[in-house]
A and B are shown apart, each in its own frame.
Chain A
Amino acid sequence: GESVGLHLPTLSVQEGDNSIINCAYSNSASDYFIWYKQESGKGPQFIIDIRSNMDKRQGQRVTVLLNKTVKHLSLQIAATQPGDSAVYFCAESLIYNAGNMLTFGGGTRLMVKP
């Protein structure tokens, strides 16, 4: 299939290692943040979200950390597997009365070496 991102920053990790993907968001007023995974030829798939009143949230093998002071978001993937290879986007939600418009970051390609 076609590549989602040909010129994206790339993180290459060994299978079984932990991965950390970082994101700097733009708007200090944003109060909801999401990580999406996008495989080639597919739409973004929800991984985990966090609200601004939290610093950390854990899911299955994934953890999201939020540092509002420096407007930084990170996604940690434990025991990275080949199936985790994809492009990862962070997204922030502007306070919006009538919807859930997301602003996406530029994405990071994760490559998992077997």
Chain B
Amino acid sequence: GAGVSQSPRYKVAKRGQDVALRCDPISGHVSLFWYQQALGQGPEFLTYFQNEAQLDKSGLPSDRFFAERPEGSVSTLKIQRTQQEDSAVYLCASVYGTSYNSPLHFGNGTRLTVT
């Protein structure tokens, strides 16, 4: 079946604008993760959902970042009042179960550029 799908592929926002990034995980995958990847760096954990429950949001850098997954499938990462330091690739990943011994399946990300 289809892999993890993210949209938009690219997003340019003026500083201070709000943005919403969408993730469609692989159908049936229980666990969903958001990661942030700065240029030249490895991905860094932002938040984790198990079905609709957000079980860990310790990686969100500020209260301007908000994620939801209301029906346990599609997830949205929202960034309010964007700042230049928010410029990065935002990756979504999903995995079927909740076991920590399963590899994550990543989407191709949304590249956010804040001008």
Q: Which residues of A contact B (CB under 8 A)?
A: 2-8, 32, 34, 36, 41-46, 49, 51, 89, 91, 93-96, 98-107
Closest chain-A Cβ to B89's Cβ sits at a distance in Å of 8
B residues less than 8 Å from A105 (CB atoms):
42
Q: Is the CB of B91 within 8 A of A43?
A: yes
Q: Is the CB of A101 within 8 A of B103?
A: no
Is B2's beta carbon under 8 Å from chain A? no
Q: Is the CB of B56 within 8 A of A99?
A: yes
Q: Is the CB of B42 within 8 A of A95?
A: no
Is B65's beta carbon under 8 Å from chain A? no
- Give a binary string over B42-73; 1 marks a CB under 8 Å from any A CB, 0 the rest: 11110010100001100000000000000000
Bound together, the chains give a CA A106 to CA B43 distance in angstroms of: 9
Is B25's beta carbon under 8 Å from chain A? no
> Who on chain B is nearest to A51 by CB?
B101
Give the segment of B14-22, B33-41, B79-87 that binds chain A.
B33-41
Provided the pairs A96-B100, A99-B56 are in contact, do residues A89 and B108 lie with their beta carbons within 8 angstroms? no
Is B98's beta carbon under 8 Å from chain A? yes
- Give the contacting residue for B39; candidates A5, A34, A46; CB below 8 A: A5
A residues less than 8 Å from B4 (CB atoms):
43
A residues less than 8 Å from B44 (CB atoms):
104
Is B95's beta carbon under 8 Å from chain A? yes
> Who on chain A is nearest to B38 by CB?
A5
> Who on chain B is nearest to A8 by CB?
B40
> Who on chain B is nearest to A35 by CB?
B103
Q: Is the CB of A100 within 8 A of B56?
A: no
Q: Which residues of B86-115 have CB atoms within 8 Å of chain A's CB atoms?
A: 91, 93, 95, 98-109, 111
Which among B45, B50, B104 has the highest number of chain A CB atoms within 10 Å? B104
Provided the pairs A98-B50, A99-B50, A106-B41 are in contact, do residues A93 and B108 lie with their beta carbons within 8 angstroms? no
